[in-house]
């Protein structure tokens, strides 16, 4: 992995003394004045914003990346505990609506440096080549203004930087991973056994969890709390994969800084910088360019809250595209009961996946498909499964006491991008007096057909593995879209390089630019898209 260190030294900038944070690097971090016209101010330090900051800093740009949340120290800020991890999520108010409202918070929304990748499971599959032209091929979804080949080198680069562990991947564009697959626990074992019986290919990985040592990041200890922030530094998040290198190359990370508004010069139509609130004070950071990377809810909300004379309906919203085509994946989870003890909490929840059902199958009455993965909920989340079956009181307790006997699989169904699934502003205000996001979601027939099909496959796999009973809970996972890239301004907000159509020095470099989502967990693709945008900005492509 020598090549990786030469282009991203993050893993070697972490201390090797058993602590998780390089405090000196943070203390000595370059700090810009609000009045400095820096080269780029980035809004959000998640998957997209952090990669952009690291790439631009390496190219010598003067960059500050602002995040509404804290600059985490895994040793002191994170716990090996579900309820105690509440502060990792975006818990400012949001209103959910539509015929199928999507819960937010722990389900899909991060806060603080590292973003949602602090509490994502760790799955990092690539999109398939077919994902980039679903409209041409199947008449559903949308075609991207770029294709898989444009992203392939960025996928490979990021997979080395995280780094990703897994078996050789046979689906989509077949490829290998830099680290060998992890050993599996009880839940992975059940999935592999059931799939084998049915002739369904399932593979171990792909997870951005160190298998072996990587720089000064240690091996995973299999404690099962990946979704609560990795105290080990084994699971990748930008906090440890990109931010340290960004700081070492002169970027500033300004935590606890909530950006409230992007300011446009009404005369030139160019972005001038961002208003933000820090320590209760309103401030303004000047910048030559602005990149918004607040993810699919906060990015559209910020654009809408940045309305001005030139953009009365919200920044970049001349064609009513901001906030639209927001997607979640249908993520039903099916659990199976075994007389043997599975104890699914004793391994990272992300272990094994199958993309056998990812592509459109002409024999089916629906388009596109789904992926199946192990999920391994901890007790509070497991209680949600049990309560969803209608149990309460003594019955809830009795079912819960059976926890060690259950195995649990989750599906990611490719819900289609629909214009009415969108973010708008609610009447309600947050603690800063800004209108909060209202997120409306309603499924279409194809979405419902996918959930049904995925549920059947999961039930079949668990039965084949020997489960005597199965239960299913319907839920959602991930967010993408809301400010999508498109071939032209009437169909999206940014171009193929993440530059907004409306404001020439305004970029959006997060999951909200994705026009479709496949059945893949989005983190790797968000990072790859941001890395590609950075190359465009620095003139490398």
Partner 1 sequence: MTGRATGRFPGFDVLGQAPHWDTVTADLVTARTGLPPAPRFFTDAEQACAGALLDQLTGQREEPLGVPVLEMIDARLAASETDGWRYEDLPEDSQAWRDTLGHLDKDAHVRCGTSFAAAPGPDQAALIQAVQDSSEWHGLPAARVWSLWTRYACTALYSHPHAWSEIGFPGPAYPRGYKNAGVGKLEPFEVRDARPAEDPVREKA
Contacting partner 1 within 174-193 (CB under 8 A): 183-186, 189-190
Whether 194 and 459 have beta carbons less than 8 Å apart is answered as no
Closest to partner 1 by CB, 185 or 481:
185
- Contacts of partner 1 in 32-91 (CB under 8 A): 75-76, 78-84, 86, 89-91
User: Sign of torsion, CA 494 496 499 503?
Assistant: negative
Kindly tell me which of 105 and 178 has the beta carbon lying closer to partner 1: 105
Nearer CB in complex with partner 1: 48/224: 224
Q: Scanning residues 220 to 249, which ones bind partner 1 (CB under 8 A)?
A: 220-225, 231-232
Considering the complex, what minimum distance in angstroms separates the CB of residue 93 from partner 1? 7
Residue 161 near residue 382, CB atoms below 8 Å: no
Pick the binder of partner 1 from 1, 29, 59, 97 (CB under 8 A): 97
What track of x and - describes contact with partner 1 for positions 427 through 466 (by CB under 8 A)?
A: -----------x----------------------------
Mention every residue, 6+ apart, whose C-beta is less than 8 A from residue 292.
Answer: 43, 44, 262, 299, 302, 303, 483, 506, 507, 508, 509, 510
Locate all alpha helices (DSSP H) within 404-518, ordered by sequence: 445-464
Least distance (Å) from partner 1 to the CB of residue 269?
35
For the segment 324-343, give every residue that binds partner 1 (CB under 8 A): 337-343
Report, in Å, the least distance between residue 422 CB and partner 1: 14
Phi, psi of 478 (to 5 degrees): 65, 165
- The b-or-e profile of 145-179 (16+ CB within 10 A means b, else e) is bbebebbeebbbbbbbbbbbbbbebebbeebebbb
Burial of 209 (0-12, 13-18, 19+ CB in 10 A): buried
Cβ of residue 500: shortest distance to partner 1, in angstroms?
27
CB of 406 to partner 1, least distance (A): 10
370-409 binders of partner 1 (CB under 8 A): 378-380, 382-384, 387, 390, 392-405
Cβ neighbours for 456, distance < 8 A, ≥ 6 positions apart: none
**Identity of the residue, 94 or 261, whose beta carbon is nearer to partner 1 in the bound complex:** 94
Question: Residue 68 Cβ, how far from partner 1 at the closest point, in Å?
Answer: 13
Kindly tell me which of 128 and 217 has the beta carbon lying closer to partner 1: 217
| Whether 132 contacts 147, CB under 8 Å | yes
Nearer to partner 1, 78 or 501 (CB): 78
CB proximity list for 22: less than 8 A, separation 6 or greater: 13, 14, 15, 244
Please, which residue, 320 or 341, has the CB nearer to partner 1?
A: 341
Q: How far is the CB of 40 from partner 1 (least distance, A)?
A: 29
Taking alpha carbons only, the member of 160, 121, 178 closest to residue 347 is 121
> Cβ closer to partner 1: 438 or 496?
438
Rounded CA separation 411/457 (Å): 9
End-to-end CA distance of the chain: 24
- The residue count for binding partner 1 (CB under 8 A) is 75
203 lies in the site for partner 1, by CB under 8 A: no
Closest distance of CB 84 from partner 1, Å: 5
The footprint of partner 1 on residues 205-224 (CB under 8 A) is 220-224
In the range 338-367, which residues lie near partner 1 by CB under 8 A? 338-343, 345-347
- Residues 258-287 binding partner 1 (CB under 8 A) are none
Smaller CB distance to partner 1: residue 21 or 446?
21
Instruction: Count CB neighbours of 98 within 10 A.
Output: 15
**Region 119-148 residues binding partner 1, contact defined as CB under 8 A:** none
Close Cβ partners of 200 (under 8 Å, ≥ 6 residues apart): 354, 356, 457, 461
CB of residue 348 to partner 1, shortest distance in Å: 10
- Which listed range, 26-34, 92-100, 162-170, 367-375, lies at the site for partner 1 (CB under 8 A)? 92-100
Of residues 327, 311, 296, 313, the one with CA closest to residue 94: 296
Nearest-approach distance from CB 347 to partner 1, in angstroms: 5
Residue 125 or 185: the one with the smaller Cβ distance to partner 1 is 185
* Footprint of partner 1 on 467-496 (CB under 8 A): 468-469, 471
CB of 230 to partner 1, least distance (A): 9
CB 504 within 8 A of CB 270: yes
Question: Minimum CB separation from partner 1 for residue 231, in Å?
Answer: 5
* β-strands 506-508, 281-292 pairing: parallel
Q: Give the list of residues 6+ apart from residue 3 with CB closer than 8 angstroms, or none.
A: 160
DSSP class of 128: P
């Amino acid at each position: 992995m020598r090549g990786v260190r030469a282009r991203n030294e993050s893993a070697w900038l972490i201390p090797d003394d058993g602590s998780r944070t390089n405090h000196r690097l943070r203390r000595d971090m370059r700090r810009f004045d609000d009045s400095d016209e820096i080269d780029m101010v980035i809004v959000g330090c998640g998957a997209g914003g952090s990669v952009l900051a690291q790439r631009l800093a390496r190219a010598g740009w003067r960059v500050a990346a602002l995040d509404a949340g804290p600059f985490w120290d895994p040793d002191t800020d994170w716990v090996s505990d579900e309820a105690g991890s509440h502060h990792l999520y975006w818990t400012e108010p949001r209103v959910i609506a539509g015929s199928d409202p999507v819960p937010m918070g722990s389900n899909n929304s991060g806060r603080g440096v590292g973003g949602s990748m602090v509490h994502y499971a760790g799955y990092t599959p690539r999109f398939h080549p077919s994902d980039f032209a679903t409209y041409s091929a199947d008449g559903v979804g949308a075609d991207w203004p770029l294709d898989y080949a444009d992203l392939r080198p960025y996928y490979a680069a990021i997979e080395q930087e995280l780094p990703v562990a897994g078996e050789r991947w046979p689906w989509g564009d077949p490829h290998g991973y830099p680290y060998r697959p992890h050993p599996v626990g009880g839940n992975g074992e059940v999935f592999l056994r059931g799939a084998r019986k049915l002739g369904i290919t399932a593979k171990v990985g792909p997870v951005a969890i160190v298998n072996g040592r990587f720089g000064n990041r240690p091996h995973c200890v299999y404690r099962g709390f990946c979704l609560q922030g990795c105290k080990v530094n084994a699971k990748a998040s930008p906090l440890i994969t990109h931010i340290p290198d960004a700081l070492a190359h002169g970027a500033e990370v300004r935590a606890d800084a909530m950006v409230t508004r992007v300011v446009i010069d009404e005369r030139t139509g160019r972005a001038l910088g961002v208003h933000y609130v820090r320590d209760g004070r309103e401030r303004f950071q000047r910048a030559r360019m602005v990149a918004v990377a607040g993810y699919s809810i906060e990015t559209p909300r910020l654009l809408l809250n940045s309305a001005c004379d030139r953009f009365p309906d919200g920044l970049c919203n001349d064609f009513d595209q901001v906030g639209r085509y927001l997607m979640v994946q249908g993520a039903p989870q099916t659990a199976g009961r075994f007389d043997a003890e599975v104890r699914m909490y004793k391994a990272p929840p992300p272990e094994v996946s199958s993309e056998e059902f990812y592509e459109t199958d002409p024999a089916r009455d629906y388009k596109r498909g789904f992926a199946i993965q192990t999920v391994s909920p901890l007790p509070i989340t497991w209680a949600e499964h049990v309560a969803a079956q209608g149990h309460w009181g003594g019955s809830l307790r009795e079912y819960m006491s059976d926890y060690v006997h259950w195995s649990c699989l989750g599906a990611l169904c490719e819900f289609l991008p629909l214009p009415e699934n969108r973010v708008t502003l609610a009447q309600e205000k947050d603690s800063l007096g800004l209108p909060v996001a209202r997120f409306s979601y309603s499924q279409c027939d194809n979405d419902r057909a996918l959930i049904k099909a995925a549920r059947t496959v999961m039930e079949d796999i668990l039965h084949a593995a020997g489960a005597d009973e199965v239960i299913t809970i319907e839920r959602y996972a991930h967010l993408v879209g809301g400010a999508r890239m498109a071939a032209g301004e009437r169909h999206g907000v940014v171009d193929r390089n993440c530059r907004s159509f409306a404001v020439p020095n305004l970029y959006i470099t997060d999951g909200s630019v994705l026009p479709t989502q496949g059945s893949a967990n989005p983190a790797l693709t968000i990072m790859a898209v941001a890395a590609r945008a950075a190359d465009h900005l620095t003139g490398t492509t």
